Each structure stands twice: as C-alpha cells, then as structure tokens.
A = this chain, B = another copy of it.
C-alpha cells in the first residue's frame, strides 16, 4: 500500500537505484532525471521507509537514553537538556526507565546495542555497579555516563566536592562555626564527594569536623528533612547552620520542622540546600542552594555520543561542569 522506490522508479522509467540516488542527493544524476524523479516522488507523496534504510546502511539513527527513575526531577531536567539540543539532530531518542525492571541497566544497554536498536546511549545517573558498567566498554556502540564519575567511560559530571566545599565556605563566611551536614546515602547520589568537600572547607578554616554533625537520612524527601531536624534538635550543642547535600526537599522539610519548633531562619539556624529545585523558590525564606547545570549536562552528553557515533573519536573523555551557589534568603 505505501509507496516505495519501486513505484517511483516505474513511473519515471528508471531503476530504484537511480531514484535512491536522487532522494539522497547524490551527485552524477542528470538534472532532467532529477527533476522528473522528484516531481513524481512528490506527487506520490513518498516517504522513505526508515527501517529498510537502517537495515541497508546498518545504522538505526537513534540513541537510547536510560534513566534510573523518571520520577526524579533531577533526571527529568537532564532529559530536557538532551532533548533541547537534540532538536535539529537526526537522531531519535528512545527512552528507557529501569526502575522496577528485571533487567539491570547494563543488561538493557547490552541488549539494545546487540539488537542494533541504538547507535549510542546515554546513561543517566546509573545505579548499577562499577563492574557491571564494564560491559559498556566492550560493546560496539558508544555510551556516555551522566552524573556519575567513571574512569573507563565517557562521562559528564559535576564537581561535587568543590560544590560542597564552596557552599560550606559560604556558611563559614557568615561566621558559622558549628555546621551540620545532612546526607542521604542512596547509591546513585555522590554523597561521598560532597561530604569530603564539606570536610575540606572546615579543615581549611582550621575547624575540626565533628562527626556528630554528620546526619544520614534514608531517602531524599521532605519527610527526611523532619527526621534530620529531630536529630539536630536533640543535640547538646546545636549547630547554627546546616548544609544539606541530600537535596532541596530534605532541606525544605528541615526548614519547616525548624520553623514549627519556633526557630527563625536564617537568624537562629541557616540552611543551604543542593539541587535548586523549583520548590527552593517557593519555601519561605527562599532557599539558598547549589545549582547543578543539569540542562547543560544533558546537552553535552548528547553532543558527546553523537561525536563518538560519527567521528569515532577515540579515547575516553570526561567533561566536568561547574555548579553555582544560588544565594537566596535561608542563609
């Protein structure tokens, strides 16, 4: 039913080879033939069958984007970054969410690659183990990892250590000396780098990091902020400031709890978050927080895969993007 090269070829009294060359703007076609074929193609409303084309040229023209959980606003933001530059690019984005799947990210990637569904992949904030990730290296299709540091794969990530250090320094600059730190040890969060940055900042200022001030919460929701607050409220020497690398929602939960307890923010207790979610502007006082360049991360990631796909550019490249402390009112 759909019109094919053959239909055009027949009507134009040429072969499919010629039509194909015309459609793809190849040289060495007489102007006359070119015109005739194009006219007929238009008349017949011809669209090339992309699957047949893919089979012939062994290229799917699509890249897989594998995310751990589409419910995370962080992930979505990166996805936006990917899509925004992908606009004018001739690669289709195939989206995969691995949450609750039997297949691990590594297995999924491997399958997609071997089934020739994708020419490349972007792995956002993967939760799988380092060992599992080694399979990526051996596949024939390039893969770039976003928001997680790896040595053997192309990566775009953020300098979490430096981000945490400067956030902490900001607090120190406000003359806070008792600064708590609320983290969440979920596997895909780079909490280690952030804690390290926090510690460095303290050390640099000649302050001995107090392990009691390091609070770990199970998840990264508002409720976890309340948990953190009860921990803080019960301390013998209560910190005057809290840095919350666990994320803005935790910071917000903490602020709400503190306010409910009668504290004023930032006078009685200052708080700095991490992420810069939309909600950071909604809470009162507005949350001072570390903004990650998520759009840019997605953006550079898609650029990198496409480069790899097309130029076969060798070696592994890592791009480190900088964060920015967004100063509002909570500190």
A: residues with CB less than 8 A from B are 1-2, 45, 47-52, 54-55, 60, 62, 65, 70-71, 73, 76, 79-80, 83-84, 87, 92-97, 100-101, 111, 114-117, 140, 222, 249, 252, 256, 277-279, 281-284
What residues of B have a CB within 8 angstroms of the CB of A54 in the complex?
51
Kindly provide the distance from the CB of A87 to the nearest chain B CB, expressed in whole angstroms: 6
Residue of B nearest to A64 (CB): B92
- Identify whether the interface residues of A are mostly helix, strand, loop, or mixed: mixed
Task: Tell me the bound Cα distance from A203 to B117 in angstroms.
Answer: 57
What residues of B have a CB within 8 angstroms of the CB of A62 in the complex?
94
Q: Is the CB of B49 within 8 A of A115?
A: yes
- Contacts A52-B55, A87-B100, A94-B92 given; indicate if A2 touches B278 (C-beta within 8 A): no
Residue of B nearest to A45 (CB): B114
Task: Tell me the bound Cα distance from A256 to B283 in angstroms.
Answer: 10
Residue of B nearest to A49 (CB): B116
Question: Can you name 24 A-B residue pairings with CB atoms under 8 Å?
Answer: A2-B116, A47-B111, A47-B114, A47-B115, A48-B115, A50-B115, A51-B117, A55-B55, A65-B95, A70-B83, A76-B76, A83-B97, A84-B97, A87-B100, A87-B101, A94-B94, A222-B282, A249-B278, A252-B282, A256-B284, A277-B278, A282-B282, A283-B283, A284-B284
